[in-house]
Structure 1
Amino acid sequence: MSLLAISCVALLVGQTLGAGYHEDVGIPEAARIRAKEALQASERISGGVASSYGDNPHLAGILINLRSGQMSVCSGTLLTTKKVLTAAQCWYDGYNVGRKAEVVLGSMQLFSGSKWDVAGVTVHSKYNPSTLFNDLAMMTLRWSAWLSNNLKPAFLPDPANATYTFAGDEARVSGYGKTSDYDELNPNTNQQALTVTVMGRWDCYYNMARRPADYSKIMCTPGNIMWGTCGADLGGPLVIPNFNGTGNHLLIGVTSIQSPFGCTTQFATGYTRVTEYLSWINSNL
């Protein structure tokens, strides 16, 4: 996951902005990550730094069994002991629909960690897989997660500060995935994270490989030839770590729009802006 973006090369290749994530990215990424773990190797954000247990206690890995019978992967954010926020694309990308999902929590590896069954998925009622408008979904776990220093929820912005853009603030993206566009099997730590600066709205718009029709609900982090989002990070968290010295991680974005040209092509990564959806998120907790 280069740049700050979680390991989600989620490059929605196709006629539309968003359709096709699972076949283009998620399914092959699931097979690749599983093969690496079988060889005791790992995946990571391109240009990122290896994480230790507890660095990203809110990070959720998501294993999705599609109706086609294939497996795909995404990321998400633990918000309560039973709720995980992710991208709507992870459940329905315009072509493929999820049949069953499991969430991996508190693990450095995606396939070998402790898993929680997903009892239900609520996709935003106005989600559009072609434009990626309202690209959010809430997953409800069948059983509550066991919280600890290595596993605890991120927290949401105060509604009173909903107009704050976070432009210029340093944020962290984390996930399981590629370290570059040419990532090969090698023994490295699986979970990675990277710190980057949140872009202003106009910079965000002009630096995306695919510009959304409505950018008011999107925020961005810059791309670079040394970093960017890769692999299985779609739906994962963009947070302000240790917010106001509290030791807690403030969720500000959900990975949604990535470059279709690769992890390190210098295009910005787009995130669904959490402050624009606080009412929807809270109503589904």
Structure 2
Amino acid sequence: MQVLILFLLPMAFLLPPGARTAEIIGGWEAQPHSRPYMAYLKIRRGQKNSYCGGFLVAKDFVLTAAHCWGDAITVKLGAHDISEEEDSQQVIPVRRQIPHPNYNGNTYKNDIMLLQLTRRVKLTQAVGLLQLTSARHRWRPYPTCSVAGWGRTGLNVRTNVLQEVYLVVVNDTFCQYRYLYYFPSSMLCVGDPEDDKSINLGDSGGPLVCRGVAEGIVSRCISNSIKPPAVFTRISHFLRWIKANLPEI
């Protein structure tokens, strides 16, 4: 452990305050519509388009990362292949973006946002809700969780079909040494430092699912040249804020 920490320490000073954000590395194609809560966000910011992940938490609300904001956002639900117009898909514009009022774009602190849709979705086998965690967990032992998204699967390697991977929640110490900013009370450190599996550019805002509930939101990630862990927003820390803005949760 001491050798690993000494190896990680100099890396922390090489990373910018907002290390690149989120894609599935070392994963595989998900079974179509096995994650009916997954949302694909098409984001317009000025003249540029980008995309993020998210997940359905109420019939007219999606939860995602605050850094996925835009001038306009369209949500695609019920998708497996985002390049196709599948019969299962529901495409709905966002009416209102509700980022956490204390979100900091430099440190990624409070990186959480609710999106209110212009209409309620129709729940189907391909479109469903994901339950949120109900407690602030400090696991022993740490659980293996899953994350999914449509981001790149490698350097300049893109995919249109939903990918997934299993990742382990690790001790906060790993992220405290790796990142310039890491706040254990509101963040989760995810990904085995000895494994190549992780997330990277494109999957921001997607859920970390542990034991059937959403525990985290993809926030910051590794770069192509640096191994895990990555940083997720700790949902349990924000339950009061979520309930205040979404009473039905």
Give the aligned partner of residue 126 of structure 1. 102
Q: Which has the higher strand share?
A: 2
The answer to whether structure 1 residue 151 and structure 2 residue 151 are counterparts is no
Change (3 A) 1:167 1:232: farther
Change (3 A) 1:196 1:169: same
Give the aligned partner of residue 220 of structure 2. 257
Please give the TM-score of this superposition, normalised by the length of structure 1: 0.73
Change (3 A) 1:265 1:224: farther
1:179 shift after superposition: 1.3
1:200 shift after superposition: 2.0
Q: CA separation in 2, counterparts of 1:165 and 1:145?
A: 34
Give the aligned partner of residue 4 of structure 2. none
Q: Could you tell me whether the CA contact under 8 Å between 1:46 and 1:229 is conserved in 2?
A: yes
Q: CA separation in 2, counterparts of 1:218 and 1:99?
A: 27
1:231 shift after superposition: 2.8
Where do 5+ consecutive residues of structure 2 fail to align?
Answer: 1-13
The answer to whether structure 1 residue 110 and structure 2 residue 82 are counterparts is yes
1:232 shift after superposition: 1.2
Structure 1, residues 167-196: CA drift from partner, whole Å, max 9, x if none?
611100000021112426xxx761010112
Indicate which of 35, 42, 58 corresponds to 2:37. Answer: 58
Where do 5+ consecutive residues of structure 1 fail to align?
Answer: 1-13, 27-43, 92-97, 244-248
Q: CA separation in 2, counterparts of 1:167 and 1:140?
A: 36
Q: CA separation in 2, counterparts of 1:90 and 1:81?
A: 20
The answer to whether structure 1 residue 235 and structure 2 residue 198 are counterparts is no
Give the aligned partner of residue 55 of structure 2. 77
Amino acid in structure 2 at the alignment position of 1:72: S
Quick check: 211-220 or 190-199, which moved more?
A: 211-220
Count of matched residue positions in the alignment of Structure 1 and Structure 2: 228
The answer to whether structure 1 residue 191 and structure 2 residue 162 are counterparts is yes
Per the alignment, in what secondary structure is the counterpart of residue 239 of structure 2? Answer: helix
Percent identity, aligned pairs only? 25
Per the alignment, in what secondary structure is the counterpart of residue 179 of structure 1? Answer: coil
Give the aligned partner of residue 185 of structure 2. 216
The answer to whether structure 1 residue 169 and structure 2 residue 143 are counterparts is yes
Amino acid in structure 1 at the alignment position of 2:187: I
Structure 1, residues 131-168: CA drift from partner, whole Å, max 9, x if none?
1111111000111111122221111122xx32444761
Give the aligned partner of residue 32 of structure 1. none
Quick check: 111-120 or 250-259, which moved more?
A: 111-120
Change (3 A) 1:147 1:167: farther
Amino acid in structure 1 at the alignment position of 2:68: C
Larger RCO (alpha carbons 8 Å, 6+ apart): 1
Q: Could you tell me whether the CA contact under 8 Å between 1:45 and 1:228 is conserved in 2?
A: yes
Structure 1, residues 230-279: CA drift from partner, whole Å, max 9, x if none?
23101111002xx3xxxxx30000011112x32x6213110000111111
Q: CA separation in 1, counterparts of 2:15 and 2:27?
A: 31
Give the aligned partner of residue 226 of structure 1. 196
Change (3 A) 1:224 1:119: farther
